[in-house]
Amino acid sequence: MPIEPFSNLVLTLSANNRAMEENKRQKQVGKLVMEELSDIFQREGMNIIDGGMVSISKVTITPDLLEARVYLSFFQVKDQAALLHKIKERGWEWRKLLGQRIKNQLRRVPELHFFPDDTLDHLFKMEEIFKKIKEEGEKG
């Protein structure tokens, strides 16, 4: 008998994990927002700053389509935190420009939240670890 409540808990957790996946409409809106914001960044000159580059690597949308999490990838940018802060300060402007472009596709323009994308950093760290393992294997 004590196993039954535990099995219900496992089922509940697996059901919640499925709810976290994006549905087709979320993916469509995310792709649209990503394409339009990329173009806006390019036209506003935000993609190349101080010899570095900023690109939008991913956009995720909440199920109600009212919030967008925009992940930014920085390449050779000296002060990422300052640049991210600058982009966040102009968030209302990005949303306004986005609204002018997608007003015919969406009823409401999603609220934009910007985050740094650290997948490249993670990739470089993993490459360093693999190099160390390979070097230690060759020495030993």
Inside any domain, residue 74: yes
Inside any domain, residue 2: no
pLDDT in tens, 5-54: 444 433 333 344 444 688 999 999 999 999 999 999 988 887 777 778 88
Inside any domain, residue 18: no
Number of domains in the chain: 1
Inside any domain, residue 5: no
98 contact partners, CB below 8 Å, separation of at least 6: 33, 36, 37, 40, 109, 112
Inside any domain, residue 97: yes
Q: What is the CATH number of the domain that holds 56?
A: 3.30.300.20
**Which pTM was predicted?**
0.72
Higher pLDDT, 65 or 14: 65
The domain containing residue 90 runs over which residues? Answer: 23-139
- What mean pLDDT comes out for the span 62-69? 94
Rounded Cα distance between 97 and 125, Å, is: 36
pLDDT in tens, 2-12: 444 444 433 33
Taking a C-beta distance cutoff of 8 angstroms, is the pair 54, 47 a contact? yes
Taking a C-beta distance cutoff of 8 angstroms, is the pair 35, 68 a contact? no
Pairing type for strands 67-75 and 52-61 reads: antiparallel
Inside any domain, residue 86: yes
- What mean pLDDT comes out for the span 104-129? 88
Rounded Cα distance between 92 and 107, Å, is: 17
Chain mean pLDDT for the chain: 83
Higher pLDDT, 77 or 121: 77
Q: What Cα–Cα distance (Å) separates residue 81 from each residue in 46, 71, 88, 139?
A: 15, 13, 10, 40
Confidence class for position 124, pLDDT limits 50, 70, 90 = confident
